[in-house]
Amino acid sequence: MKSLDSILATISASKLDTWERCRESWRRRYIEGEKVPPGVAIHRGRGPHFAAKVNFEQKVDSHRDLPVTEMVELAVEHFRESVGRGISFTREEDHVGHDVVVGRGVDSVRGLAELFAVKVAPKYQPLLVEKRFTLTLPSRGYKLNGVVDWIAEGDVVTDLKTSARKIKDVMVTRSPQLTAYALYHAGVFGHLPRKVRLEGLIDKEVPVLQTLESTRTRNDVALLLRRIDAMVAGVRSGTFGPAPFDSWKCDPRFCGFYSTCPYVPAEGG
């Protein structure tokens, strides 16, 4: 088991997000080192992300998008490969049948990837794509890392999301992920981006695009660091506990620890 010092030496927005949504999940993932295969919803989101990555990486130089059909097939192939590496099914999905669930996932990925290819990709001329970064913060005692989806001409930092439902505005106005990306932008370009943007692919029968936009200031960066400081203090104090009972995260579709969590009703209970 890793020491707390090593666990807290590098922080990501996803670590902070997990902490603020469910501290028990954080404890099991990062302290206990437990890993469970993701559910179909997580795999489904990876398909369009992969297609976006491949398309935008070549578009940096070509200034042209790949054909729509090619992006769709890239997304579907990546979804199938991702599922092949391991997937968790809920009781309801077990009842329906794994092949049916995966087949429905393929259909969703096709629709979401086509929506990205037609409505999102043409809007951007990317400069940086899927860039991993690590920012050293000497005064804090930890490093901040992440992977920015893409930074495009026009001084715009963008995060691509897939969701089964409409995305709340707060996801772009206060997203720690986008704040971290903005801080990385400042390190590369010498200033915070003009805009941070969230492109949401909403998984409906007919997929819907939801574009949300906001800005980031130095005050937003300071707020992010204070939230991380609070997380670090909480982890060191051993203050763990469940997600709110009505949280979307506390659901077998989105939490691999759900079936063994002491804070949710037992199966059949």
CATH number at residue 188: 3.90.320
Lowest mean pLDDT among 66-80, 115-129, 246-260: 246-260
CA distance 29 to 35: 6
Instruction: Write the pLDDT tens digit of every residue in 157-197.
Output: 999 999 999 999 999 999 999 999 999 999 999 999 999 99
Count of structural domains within the chain:
1
Q: Does a structural domain hold residue 24?
A: yes
C-alpha 112: how far from its chain's center?
Answer: 16
- The string of pLDDT tens digits covering residues 197-244 is 999 999 999 999 999 999 999 999 999 999 999 999 999 999 899 999
| Separation between Cα atoms, residue 257 and residue 192, nearest integer Å | 37
Report the distance separating Cα 212 and Cα 209, nearest Å.
Answer: 10
For residues 44 and 83, what is the distance between their CA atoms, to the nearest angstrom? Answer: 9
In a domain, 47, yes or no: yes
263, part of any domain:
no
- pLDDT at residue 267 is higher than 70: no
Joined tokens for residue 218: 């130095």
E strands along 140-241, which residues?
A: 142-152, 156-163, 195-202, 208-214
| pLDDT, the chain, mean | 93
Which of 255 and 208 is assigned the larger pLDDT?
A: 208
Q: pLDDT digits over 59-84, tens only?
A: 999 999 999 999 999 999 999 999 99
User: Residue 159 sits in which domain range?
Assistant: 4-134+141-237
Domain assignment of residue 118, yes or no:
yes
Mean pLDDT of the region 140-168? 95
Q: 3-class SS at 265?
A: coil
146 forms beta bridges with 133
* 242 assigned to some structural domain: no
* Helices (H) then strands (E): counts for the chain: 10, 6
Within-domain flag for 123: yes
Structural domain includes residue 246: no
User: Does residue 93 or residue 20 have the better pLDDT?
Assistant: 20
Residue 124 lies in a domain: yes
What does the DSSP assignment read for 35-66? ----BHHHHHHHHHHHHHHHHHHHHHHH-SPP
